[in-house]
């Protein structure tokens, strides 16, 4: 639009000089054309400016009025142009760019009034110029029609831009809220993961050591050989838990899976390590995997087995337990059974004492798996963890 203004201004001045080369008003027309060009160029300096942040005009307050400097600039531009139109009607072609200048500078109602006044000036100048050739209806209807179309398009585009700006603002705010929500959820998920890892490694190991050391203390005088065996077992558990803790700090796989050992070997090692004089644990595998299990699945099932055996050792008062790993076509299932005292299962996570079973459910939910518990007081417990396999 700025380029169009200067093109029309130069073409109007050129036409005037060609048609009226020796007219008395020629010097005034040239001077006024130069002044109008300079005023238009000064528009970005003293005219209405747009906010870099929002793109809205900052010089026009809500009432539709301009502050002193922009108002003086706009008045000078319009006044100079009207004077030019009176002296040389051909300068009326510059009206369209000036329409947009007024529409950008003022609020809607004052801008429409200004456009109407500019259009009236153009019509008056053209009618005065062409009266000697007879009346032409286009002089009365074409400029107002063009001004109406230009004004309607500008107002519509401005409203669309305002709506788009509002939508963008809402999207930015929503994105920030979503990012904050994701950070909170990520923090909670990480806290849950850390709590499960600590429960299944360090906490269970400390619980086993406590039980072994208490048993060693009771047997120290009556059966020192067995007491020393309990102490050595506690030391072995402490060493294994130290390895687990170090790998946990580095966010690596469980120690039993660290050297590329498969889940079956890791479960067999776990069963042998947790077997004691009072609790015999055996491992059985049914089927073979078509493809290696994902590391997340192996780690989750191993942690579940560790937590389940810790619960059996601490709460079940069992003498035998079994780990059964079954590979089916579409899922892998880990069953942990014991002959202990059993309990009454509940479907409510809050109804289960402790942190172990809720942590197992949480691990399986992250993998799309399920946890089933079958238990009756006095008849032992069977815990079944199923994880779907990728097709």
Of the listed ranges 246-255, 283-292, 345-354, the least confidently predicted one is: 345-354
Of the listed ranges 3-17, 44-58, 114-128, 306-320, the least confidently predicted one is: 44-58
Closest CA to 99 of 75, 117, 80: 117
**Within-domain flag for 126:** yes
Helix, strand or coil for residue 331?
strand
Per-residue pLDDT of 166-182, as tens digits, reads 999 999 999 989 888 88
Count of beta carbons in the 10 Å neighbourhood of residue 196: 22
Domain boundary among 106, 136, 166: 136
**Within-domain flag for 253:** no
Contact 140, 127 (CB under 8 A): yes
Per-residue pLDDT of 243-278, as tens digits, reads 777 766 655 567 677 666 788 998 998 898 888 888
**Within-domain flag for 371:** yes
pLDDT, position 159: 87
pLDDT, position 106: 78
Domain boundary among 136, 167, 194: 136
pLDDT, position 338: 94
CA count, 13 A, side-chain hemisphere, 340: 28
Tokens 């035998």 identify what position?
320
**Beta-strand (E) ranges in the chain?**
280-286, 320-327, 331-338, 370-375, 381-388
Closest CA to 387 of 336, 338, 325, 337: 325
Please say if the pLDDT value at position 29 is more than 70.
Answer: yes
pLDDT band of residue 52 (cuts 50, 70, 90) is very low
Q: Domain of 13?
A: 2-136
Per-residue pLDDT of 14-28, as tens digits, reads 888 888 887 888 888
The larger pLDDT score, comparing residue 380 to residue 350, is at: 380
Q: What is the DSSP string of 217-270?
A: HHHTTT-HHHHHHHHHHHHHHHHHHHHHHHHHHTT---GGGTTS--HHHHHHHH
**Within-domain flag for 232:** no
pLDDT band of residue 226 (cuts 50, 70, 90) is confident
**Within-domain flag for 278:** yes
pLDDT band of residue 280 (cuts 50, 70, 90) is very high
Q: Is the pTM of this model over 0.75?
A: no
pLDDT, position 47: 57
Closest CA to 240 of 228, 265, 258: 258
Domain boundary among 115, 136, 157: 136
Please say if the pLDDT value at position 96 is more than 60.
Answer: yes
Count of positions (residues) in the chain = 391
**Within-domain flag for 195:** no
Per-residue pLDDT of 62-71, as tens digits, reads 334 456 677 7
pLDDT, position 285: 92
pLDDT, position 292: 83
Q: Is 293 left (phi over 0), alpha (psi -120 to 50) or beta?
A: beta
Rounded to an integer, what distance in angstroms lies between the CA atom of residue 358 and that of residue 364? 10
Q: How many domains does the chain have?
A: 2
Contact 363, 303 (CB under 8 A): yes
**Within-domain flag for 207:** no
List Cβ neighbours of 146 (8 Å cut-off, separation of 6 or more): 96
pLDDT, position 311: 85
pLDDT, position 44: 67
Per-residue pLDDT of 110-169, as tens digits, reads 888 888 888 888 787 777 666 655 666 776 777 788 788 888 888 888 889 889 999 999
pLDDT, position 258: 66
Give the CATH number of the domain where residue 353 resides. Answer: 3.30.565.10
Q: Share the mean pLDDT of the chain.
A: 81
pLDDT, position 84: 86
């Amino acid at each position: 639009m700025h380029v169009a203004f200067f093109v029309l201004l130069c073409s109007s001045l050129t036409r005037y000089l060609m048609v009226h080369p020796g007219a008395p008003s020629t010097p005034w027309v040239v001077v006024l054309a130069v002044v109008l060009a300079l005023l238009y160029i000064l528009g970005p300096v003293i005219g209405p400016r747009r906010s870099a942040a929002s793109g809205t005009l900052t010089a026009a307050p809500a009432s539709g009025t301009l502050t002193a400097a922009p108002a003086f600039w706009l008045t000078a531009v319009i006044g100079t142009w009207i004077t030019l139109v009176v002296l040389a009607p051909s300068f009326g072609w510059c009206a369209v760019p000036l329409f947009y200048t007024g529409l950008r500078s003022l609020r809607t109602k004052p801008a429409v009034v200004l456009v109407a006044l500019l259009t009236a000036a153009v019509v008056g100048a053209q009618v005065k110029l062409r009266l000697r050739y007879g009346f032409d209806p286009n002089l009365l209807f074409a400029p107002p029609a063009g001004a109406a179309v230009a004004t309607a398009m500008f107002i519509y585009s401005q409203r669309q831009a305002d709506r788009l700006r509002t939508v963008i603002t809402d999207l930015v705010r929503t994105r920030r809220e979503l990012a904050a929500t994701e950070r909170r959820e990520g923090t909670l998920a990480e806290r849950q993961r850390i709590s499960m890892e600590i429960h299944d490694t360090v906490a269970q190991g400390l619980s086993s050591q406590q039980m072994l050391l208490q048993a060693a203390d009771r047997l120290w005088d009556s059966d020192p050989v067995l007491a020393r065996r309990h102490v050595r077992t506690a030391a072995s558990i402490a060493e294994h838990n130290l390895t687990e803790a170090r790998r946990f700090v580095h966010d690596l796989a469980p120690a039993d899976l660290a050297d590329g050992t498969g889940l079956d070997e890791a479960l067999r090692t776990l069963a042998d390590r947790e077997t004691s004089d009072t609790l015999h644990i055996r491992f059985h595998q049914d089927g073979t995997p078509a493809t290696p299990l994902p590391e997340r699945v192996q780690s989750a099932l191993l942690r579940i087995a560790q937590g389940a055996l810790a619960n059996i050792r601490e709460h079940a008062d069992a003498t035998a337990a079994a780990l059964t790993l079954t590979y089916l076509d579409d899922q892998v299932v880990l069953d942990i059974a014991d002959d202990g005292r059993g309990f009454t299962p509940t479907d409510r996570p809050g109804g289960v004492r402790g942190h172990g079973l809720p942590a197992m459910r949480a691990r399986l939910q992250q993998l799309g798996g399920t946890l089933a518990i079958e238990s009756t007081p006095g008849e032992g417990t069977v815990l079944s963890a199923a994880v779907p396999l990728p097709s």
